[in-house]
Chains A and B, each alone.
Chain A
Amino acid sequence: MNCSEARRLAVLFAGGDLSQDEAAELMAHIDYCPACAGELRNMRVALALVHDAAREDVPPPLPGDFSSGIVEAIERGRKQCEHTAAIAGKFPRWLRSAATAGAAAALVTAAVLPVREAWQEHRRSEMLREVMRGDTRKPSEIELPFRIVGDYRIEGPYRLAEWQQSSEPGIFAILHRPAPGNSPDRFVIDYLGEADRLTYRGFLWTPVIRNTLVSHIGSVDNVYIAVCRMPDSTERERRTISNVLIRKYKPYFNNGV
């Protein structure tokens, strides 16, 4: 074994990542090569420093109700799905498309999951497939100036990149311009939601927006946000209003999600 090979293995040996044979081969070299022995020692020191640093840098503990919060969020999502299904007032698509080529997978899923969850899964994957192949269904469009919530003032739309966050609760709409050149005042509502803080984390960190919205719209520069601050509102109030708006405007990314 030459020094170059020994040093390559020493890096792995320092962390216990060599097989017995490789380790034996390395040690045979180290025994007569002080330079490689020094390399190994330095690598061990570096790893020890990294481990010390990791021990030092411990994140604050998770809140005590972390698991309960997730379970509640899942239950809430399930109820919301029931609500959405009730509004839609139609049979889930997977029942109608059961004879198609994708039916086998849907039925297998339906056999092992409760029906509603299977439906949710199917709708979600269906939506993603549609987005992937560039579905061109038009969500409802609105023009400036617009009012979407009774007594509350709408702020925006702002380009998302220029938007100033707010720590207040409220409702938000994510929009884009379908034809920025010809109709700069025309916007499409892509997603409507509520948040207890109108911040990046309050709305952007959702699977829908994160994974599909930007790719669907095509450019980050064409993503806009309009917000309606509702300082003293409860989540229930905001949810009620946003559900009404979702029913009215049918934003593409609220559909079946």
Chain B
Amino acid sequence: MDNEIAELLSRARKGDMEAFRQLIDRCSRRVYSIAYRMTGNAEDSRDIAQETFIRIHRSLALIDDTRSFQGWLYRTTVNLARDFHRVKKRYAAVPLDSAEMEAAAVTPSPDDVSEYAEMTAYVKTIAGTLTAKQREVFILRDIEGLTTEEIADMLSISRSTVRVHLAKAREHMKNALMKRYPSYFTTSEPGGAL
């Protein structure tokens, strides 16, 4: 996989747009997914993914290997998603797609949907209450499965800072889930295998 990306990257740097198109095909799912986890909106995530690849294309000449390409790619995605949040906050008064925003804001009640779907919405909601850095680290590590080293590199922070944010985020998520769904958790004296 990495060799294929390296080959495509090399061709794309020489101006081969077909190679760049194939690079997009290979990497877009992850980029789109990260953007989606950070924004919670598919249409915004598509915009972010598109903008990410346009920016990456401008910087191709500065990217010298596959590792830095992927780091650059995900870093750009995270930065754009972060900017997007900032702009969306500043323009809070702009009437966006209000129906869509309302839908996102409302947590479906257990009567309307299955508990599973309700839990999915709830997880999304509480992830949205994390601080920006905690949310980024949590999404990249626990949802997207990147390593703490990759995340540290991507966010330009130390690995220990990644661990601090991650621990706080997980603790926050756990406490919220325990409060809402106590039956899944152990509150009595524990026993059995870990």
Contact = CB atoms under 8 A, between A and B. Distances in A.
Interface residues of B, number: 66
B123 A49 contact: yes
* Listed residue (A40, A59, A68, A163) with the most chain B CB atoms within 10 angstroms of its CB: A59
* Listed residue (B24, B94, B178, B189) with the most chain A CB atoms within 10 angstroms of its CB: B94
A165 interface: yes
B142 A51 contact: yes
A44 B192 CA distance: 14
Contacts of B58: 117, 120-121
Contact of A70 (B24, B29, B171): B24
Contact of A54 (B53, B83, B143): B143
B17 interface: yes
A95 interface: no
Contacts of A47: 142, 170
Contacts, number: 161
B36 interface: yes
A200 interface: yes
Contact of B91 (A40, A50, A71, A200): A200
Interface string B172-194: 01100110010011100111001
A249 to B, nearest CB: 24
Interface string A159-183: 0111111000000000000000000
B132 interface: no
A59 B24 CA distance: 18
Interface in B76-133: 83-84, 87, 90-91, 93-97, 116-117, 119-120, 122-124
A210 B50 contact: no
Contact of A59 (B45, B50, B122, B190): B45
Q: Is the interface of A mostly helix, strand, loop or mixed?
A: helix
A53 B186 contact: no
A160 B94 contact: yes
B166 A15 contact: yes
Interface string A200-213: 11001101001100
A53 B163 contact: no
B66 interface: no
A162 B173 CA distance: 37
Interface in B1-53: 15, 17, 20-22, 24-25, 28-29, 32-33, 36-37, 42-47, 49-51, 53
Interface string A105-116: 000010011100
A205 B51 contact: yes
Nearest to A118: B61
A45 interface: yes
Nearest to B169: A11
Closest 3 CB pairs of A and B: A38-B190, A46-B174, A67-B24
Interface of B: 15, 17, 20-22, 24-25, 28-29, 32-33, 36-37, 42-47, 49-51, 53-55, 57-58, 61, 83-84, 87, 90-91, 93-97, 116-117, 119-120, 122-124, 141-143, 148, 163, 166-167, 170-171, 173-174, 177-178, 181, 184-186, 189-191, 194
